Amino acid sequence: MHKGLAIYPGSFDPPTNGHLDLIERGAKIFEDLVVAILRNSEKSPMFTVAERREMLQELTAHLKNVRIDTFDGLMVEYAKSLDATCILRGIRAISDYEYELQMALMNRKLEPTLETVFMMPADKYSYVSSRLVREVAQAGGPVKGLVPEVVEHKLREKLDPAYKLRDVRMMEMLESPGGSELGRRERKRKRKA
């Protein structure tokens, strides 16, 4: 295990199974791992930073050496403020390489003591990206297996507000032995009529 702290920075909008796979691999080789969500992204995000943080916290609760944080401005400055020694990034395919190489070399120019470490997620996630997940979900397609269940749920809530209402009603039905409150009221109304 590598002594010291590593940072895994990103947008995580939303977190995917590929991100989680990389976090789990990183947690095995680094003593401490901080998953850092960029706050000042120029893109208009689907999930707020608070929502992304909450999802990541829930997804990594079983990893005791992993914590979730947010940052603004230059990543290397944030890394320095935590005394981090490494930046962790995932590479899925050759297409990622050019952008990641540029970023790693720019970060090295800005802070030569900080080393970028690349890891590959499981090949079954090699085509999964937050952008494609958003695109598929927004078009009503299935994202099962691409994102953790909690994220799938949040995506459905975000894209279909009626889904949340259905969920609440379903919970009501399951929790009350005589059926839902709405059902009871409806039966009472019919008895009176």
| Residue 101 near ligand PNS by CB under 6 A | no
* CB closer to ligand PNS, 38 vs 56: 38
Active site residue 92: yes
Catalytically annotated residue among 43, 62, 64, 191 = 43
**CA atoms of 6 and 29, how far apart (whole Å):** 10
Supply the minimum distance, in Å, between the C-beta of residue 100 and ligand PNS: 9
Strand partners, 32: 5
Would you state the structure tokens that stand for residue 112, as one six-digit string? 């030569």
Q: Which of 5, 75, 128, 137 binds ligand PNS (CB under 6 A)?
A: 75
Q: Report d(CA 22, CA 8) in Å as an integer.
A: 9
Give, as ranges, the residues between 14 and 73 that touch ligand PNS (CB under 6 A).
Answer: 38
Residue 189 annotated as catalytic: no
Which 8-state DSSP code applies to residue 124?
G
User: Which segment (7-15, 26-34, 54-62, 169-177) binds ligand PNS by CB under 6 A?
Assistant: 7-15
107 binds ligand PNS (CB under 6 A): yes
- For the question of residue 130 being annotated catalytic, the response is yes
Q: By the 8 A CB rule, do 66 and 23 touch?
A: yes
Q: How far, in Å, are 25, 119, 128 from residue 116 at the CA level?
A: 15, 10, 22
The reply to whether 2 belongs to the active site is: no
Q: Which of residues 123-182 bind ligand PNS (CB under 6 A)?
A: none
Closest residue to ligand PNS in the complex (CB): 10
| CA 80/CA 83 separation, integer angstroms | 5
The enclosing H or E element of 133 equals helix 130-138
Contact 71, 49 (CB under 8 A): no
- The residue from 48, 50, 57, 74 that contacts ligand PNS (CB under 6 A) is 74
Give the footprint of ligand PNS on this chain (CB under 6 A). Answer: 9-11, 38, 74-75, 103, 106-107
Query: Catalytic positions, please?
Result: 19, 43, 92, 130
